[in-house]
Amino acid sequence: MSKLTGMTAPTLSALPPTISFTTELTRDIRATTGESVSVIAPFTGQTLHALPVSSVGDVADAYSRARLAQIGWARAGFAHRRAVLLRAHDLLLSRREALLDTLQTETGKTRGQAFEEIFQAAGVTRYNAVAARRVLGGESRRSGLPLMVTTRVRYRPKGVAGVITPWNFPLSLAAMDVVPALAAGCGVVQKADNQGALSILLLRRAFIDAGVPADLWAVVTGTGAVIGEAVTAGADYVCFTGSTPTGLRVGAQAASSLTGASLELGGKNPMIVLDDVDPHRAAAQAAYACFSSLGQLCVSIERIYVQRGVHEQFLREFVTVTRALIIGSALDYSTDVGSLTSQAQLTRVTEHVADAVAHGATVQAGGRARPDLGPYFFEPTILTGVTPGMLCYAGETFGPVVAVSVVDSEQEAILAANDSDFGLNASVLSGSARRGLRVAGSLEAGSVNVNEGYRGSFSAVDAPMGGVKDSGLGRRNGPEGLKRFVNPVTISRATGVLRLPATGVEFARLVTPMLLLARTLKAARRR
pLDDT in tens, 368-385: 999 999 999 999 999 999
- Specify the length of the chain in residues: 527
pLDDT at 408 over 60: yes
Quickly state the pLDDT bin for 522 (edges 50, 70, 90): confident
Which positions ≥6 away from 67 have C-beta within 8 Å? 159, 160, 187
Provide, rounded to the nearest whole percent, the portion of the chain with pLDDT above 70.
95
pLDDT at 8 over 70: no
pLDDT at 22 over 70: no
Separation CA 403–CA 303 (nearest Å): 5
pLDDT at position 240? 98
pLDDT at position 171? 96
Task: Please choose, from the candidates 102, 90, 117, 122, the residue with its C-alpha nearest in 3D space to the C-alpha of residue 173.
Answer: 117
**Distance from chain centroid for Cα 207:** 20
171, 182 Cβ separation under 8 angstroms: no
pLDDT at 281 over 80: yes
Is 501 exposed, middle or buried (CB count within 10 Å of its CB: 0-12, 13-18, 19+)? middle
pLDDT at position 399? 98
Alpha helices per DSSP H over 53-156 = 56-94, 96-107, 111-136
pLDDT tens, position by position, 305-327: 999 999 999 999 999 999 999 99
What is the average pLDDT across 170-180?
A: 97
pLDDT at 271 over 70: yes
pLDDT tens, position by position, 425-462: 999 999 999 999 999 999 999 999 999 999 999 999 99
Give, for 422, the enclosing helix (H) or strand (E).
strand 422-423
pLDDT tens, position by position, 233-258: 999 999 999 999 999 999 999 999 99
294, 108 Cβ separation under 8 angstroms: yes
* 29 bridge partner residues: 219
Separation CA 230–CA 251 (nearest Å): 14
pLDDT tens, position by position, 97-109: 999 999 999 999 9
What is the average pLDDT across 255-277?
A: 98
**Coil, strand, or helix at residue 212?**
coil
Task: Please choose, from the candidates 518, 300, 259, the residue with its C-alpha nearest in 3D space to the C-alpha of residue 398.
Answer: 300
CA atoms within 13 A on the CB side of 149: 13
pLDDT at 6 over 60: no
pTM of the model: 0.94
Quickly state the pLDDT bin for 164 (edges 50, 70, 90): very high
pLDDT at position 14? 45
Separation CA 343–CA 299 (nearest Å): 22
pLDDT at position 64? 98
**Coil, strand, or helix at residue 164?**
strand
Which residue numbers are catalytic? 264, 298
CA atoms within 13 A on the CB side of 21: 13
pLDDT at position 4? 55
Mean pLDDT of all residues belonging to the chain? 94
Quickly state the pLDDT bin for 25 (edges 50, 70, 90): confident
Provide, rounded to the nearest whole percent, the portion of the chain with pLDDT above 90.
89
pLDDT tens, position by position, 121-150: 999 999 999 999 999 999 999 888 888 899
Quickly state the pLDDT bin for 5 (edges 50, 70, 90): low
pLDDT at position 159? 98
pLDDT at 10 over 80: no
